């Protein structure tokens, strides 16, 4: 049950940032970017992801500069981009830090360790990459550029997207 018709912390209509409102209207794939192993595993929900074909292919991420993931990524270091399906919607908020994860986020879902980092077994697809250049500030987030070294396509299923503050199942 809720007592608010809108989000209680949402600024009044005339005070909302138009650029953020525009960005909110651009549907984005929901991914979990992960790195490390064992006790050093870190992860973050990232929806600002671009994959560029080429030789070599590249992946570009916008990552919160204050995240554990940002602290972990360094030139040459491996990381994983796990593409979430609708069935994994419950993982997005805990990895974003907006919902609780008693015991830690990696107790949610089934994970396997790879050379690039933790891979979610139920991911629609995933890629393994290495940080190509020093991450740099672009606005508030950090731009992380990786060289794609491995790609796997999982079981076909509906993709999970984020638009206007909501997760949508495109299946």
Architecture field, domain 29-163: Roll (2.30)
CA-wise closest residue to 95 among 65, 69, 132: 69
Enumerate the domain spans of the chain.
29-163
Compute φ and ψ for 156, nearest 5 degrees.
Answer: -65, 135
What is residue 45's predicted lDDT score, i.e. its pLDDT? Answer: 95
For the chain, the distance separating the N- and C-terminal CA atoms, rounded to the nearest angstrom, is: 28
What is residue 6's predicted lDDT score, i.e. its pLDDT? Answer: 61
DSSP SS3 for 67: coil
Residue 162: strand pairing partners: 28, 167
State how far the alpha carbon of 75 is from the alpha carbons of 47, 70, 96, in Å: 22, 12, 23
What is residue 1's predicted lDDT score, i.e. its pLDDT? Answer: 47
Residue 39 sits at the vertex; the CA angle it makes with 34 and 45, to the nearest 5 degrees, is 25
List the pLDDT tens digit at each of the 171 positions of the chain. 456 556 566 667 777 678 777 777 777 899 999 999 999 999 999 999 999 999 999 999 999 999 999 999 999 999 999 999 999 999 999 999 999 999 999 999 999 999 999 999 999 999 999 999 999 999 889 999 999 999 999 877 788 988 888 888 877
Q: Which residue has the tokens 């360094």?
A: 74
What is residue 21's predicted lDDT score, i.e. its pLDDT? Answer: 76
């Amino acid at each position: 049950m809720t007592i608010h018709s809108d989000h209680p912390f949402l600024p009044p209509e005339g005070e909302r940032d138009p650029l953020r409102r525009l960005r909110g209207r651009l549907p984005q794939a929901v991914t979990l970017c992960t790195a490390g192993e064992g006790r050093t595993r870190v992860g973050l929900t990232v929806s600002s992801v671009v994959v560029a074909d080429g030789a070599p292919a590249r992946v570009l991420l916008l990552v919160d500069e204050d995240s554990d993931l940002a602290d972990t990524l360094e030139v040459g270091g491996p990381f994983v981009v796990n593409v979430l399906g609708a069935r994994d919607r419950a993982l997005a908020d805990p990895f974003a830090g907006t919902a609780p994860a008693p015991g830690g986020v990696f107790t949610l879902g089934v994970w396997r360790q790879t050379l690039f980092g933790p891979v979610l077994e139920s991911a629609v697809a995933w890629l393994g990459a290495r940080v190509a250049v020093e991450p740099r500030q672009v606005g508030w987030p950090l731009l992380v550029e990786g060289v794609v070294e491995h790609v796997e396509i999982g079981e076909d299923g509906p993709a999970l997207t984020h638009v206007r503050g909501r997760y949508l199942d495109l299946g």
